[in-house]
Amino acid sequence: MHLPKVAAAAATLPWAAAVVTRQASTTVTVNLSRRYQTIDGFGFSEAFQRAYNIYNLAEPKRSQLIDLLFNTTSGAGFSIVRNGIGSSPNSSNDWMNTILPTGPSSPAAMSNASYVWDSKDSGQLWVSQQAVKYGVKTFYADAWSAPGFMKSNRKDSGGGFLCGVAGATCSSGDWRQAYADYLVKYIQFYQQSGVNVTHLGFLNEPDISTSYASMLSNGQQSADFIRVLYPTLQIANLSSVNIACCDATGWKIQATMTQGLKDAGVEDMIGIITSHTYTSGVSGTLPTSRKVWETECSDLSGGWSTAWYTNGAAGDGFTWANNIYTGLTSGNVSAYLWWVATQDKATNNNNNEKLILVDGGDYVVAKRFWAFAQYSRTIRPGATRVGISGGSNLKTTAFQNADGTVAVNVINSSTSAAVLSVAGVLKAASAKAWVTDASNDMTPIAVTVGADGSVSGVTVPGRGMVSFVISAAASSTYQN
């Protein structure tokens, strides 16, 4: 798959040389002066009891799977975990149990609330603690709903509204402060267990009503709660926790909700605007100055497939390499999260919503996982997206990591390969590259680093992806 190195003469520094095409050689040019959004990372959830798929695996498989998810050398190096904050009376099926199983009779009685911490949190605490060991620092805790006793429909499933927001007047009173206190309590339980929640959401897909936990909200109603949640976090010394809103089912609905939050005057209280991509995919930026995260996506309808490329199917690894590219570029996202990392065969008719099938004491990894790894392992939290241009039929992104290294990701949309050079970055001291395609999973490949600091000689297979991490020579300065 990998052509031999090309002559170092292909070097095209200085960067202003832009695109140089000689025979089958292509140059992409990085512009470190052109700076875009900051990246928080890439991640997944193990909500809905999915965490137990990992927890219940016998060793050594269990450790291998954790390593695959979080190791930055051999795994995907995922840097964000999204946990579901439970609201249900029990933990069967897709329900996640609440930390307040017996609701007080009124909001005023919350001061006597009997919280119950089971130190499991539907298996998510253990997965989070493993992530901490690998250096993961970003934990997004997201409630699908408030507990039923705080809601207009008196149960945590089947939609309903949080009592006290616009249009939801309940005889039991205004439960907004109670819900804010509840979410703070959850964060404190995690803190005591060695995991710092950094981002907090209070809704999941608030535009639909479901048989699992769900709570409806529009932008105005979300703002009504954020005005209570924000000061509650401050008073609890949790001002560093970023409020997230609103995990709508798709980009278009989230755009409307985001406008609603702005119109209500709470944009400044929000840390991140969050959206899923089920009912509509990433179609440009959302109307906000806040960071934007894509917080859930998957292929819900396809049957289990590990393929890299079939025909552009919704479950193909190559499709997701392209989707992540679109999120990072057109969508201006700072994070890109898949839905569940693991699932067994029996659940949801063995569909394609998981990255890894865990069944019968073993696991199988889909190529979608390696599409994420291409980005997640090379673009680390704190990286800034920078300019890159050049090459036809290529989808390229570049990032300057916090440690100064430069990540370059190249998807070749054509069906055959060519040799690539990267120019304009800096005088490279060293460079690494990894390829993923039908027969490779982040396979390390040789890169030519010339005496002049040029980077060249890498083949990007047709319908394949290569990511680089380039380190500067100690004495060199950035070119731009």
Ligand X SMILES: *[C@@H]1O[C@H](CO)[C@@H](O)[C@H](O)[C@H]1NC(C)=O
Task: Please report how close the Cβ of residue 413 comes to ligand X at its closest, in angstroms.
Answer: 7
Task: Please report how close the Cβ of residue 440 comes to ligand X at its closest, in angstroms.
Answer: 14
* Contact predicate 206/248, CB 8 Å: yes
Q: What is the dihedral of CA 257, 142, 97, 357, to 10 degrees?
A: 110
Binding positions for ligand X, 457-476, rule CB under 6 A? 460, 462
Among 4, 23, 58, 92, binds ligand X (CB under 6 A): 92
Q: Which helix (H) or strand (E) holds 445?
A: strand 440-445
x/- map, 105-144, ligand X, by CB under 6 A: ---xx-xx-------------------x-x----------
**Is position 330 an interface residue for ligand X (rule: CB under 6 A)?**
no
Determine the length of the chain: 480
- Within 166-273, residue ranges assigned H as helices are 176-192, 219-235, 251-263
* CA triple 160-165-171, angle to 5 deg: 70
**Is position 156 an interface residue for ligand X (rule: CB under 6 A)?**
yes
Task: Please report how close the Cβ of residue 410 comes to ligand X at its closest, in angstroms.
Answer: 6
DSSP letter at 213?
B
**Is position 1 an interface residue for ligand X (rule: CB under 6 A)?**
no
Binding positions for ligand X, 358-387, rule CB under 6 A? 387
**Is position 88 an interface residue for ligand X (rule: CB under 6 A)?**
yes
Q: What is the rounded CA–CA span in Å between residue 50 and residue 341? A: 8
Among 193, 279, 285, 351, binds ligand X (CB under 6 A): 285
Binding positions for ligand X, 157-176, rule CB under 6 A? 157
Task: Find, among 333, 433, 340, 327, the residue nearest to 69 by Cα.
Answer: 340
Give the amino acid at 19. Answer: V
**3-class SS of residue 314:** coil
Query: How distant is the alpha carbon of residue 117 from its chain centre?
Result: 27
Q: What is the rounded CA–CA span in Å between residue 253 and residue 235? A: 32
Among 77, 250, 327, 391, binds ligand X (CB under 6 A): 391
Task: Find, among 462, 381, 453, the residue nearest to 198 by Cα.
Answer: 381
Among 418, 431, 447, 449, binds ligand X (CB under 6 A): 418
Among 19, 62, 64, 89, binds ligand X (CB under 6 A): 89
Binding positions for ligand X, 38-67, rule CB under 6 A? 67
**Is position 332 an interface residue for ligand X (rule: CB under 6 A)?**
yes
- The contact set with ligand X (CB under 6 A) reads 16, 24, 26, 31, 33-34, 37, 67, 71, 73-74, 88-90, 92, 95, 108-109, 111-112, 132, 134, 155-157, 194, 196, 236-237, 285, 289, 291, 332, 334, 387, 391, 393-394, 412, 414-418, 420, 460, 462, 480
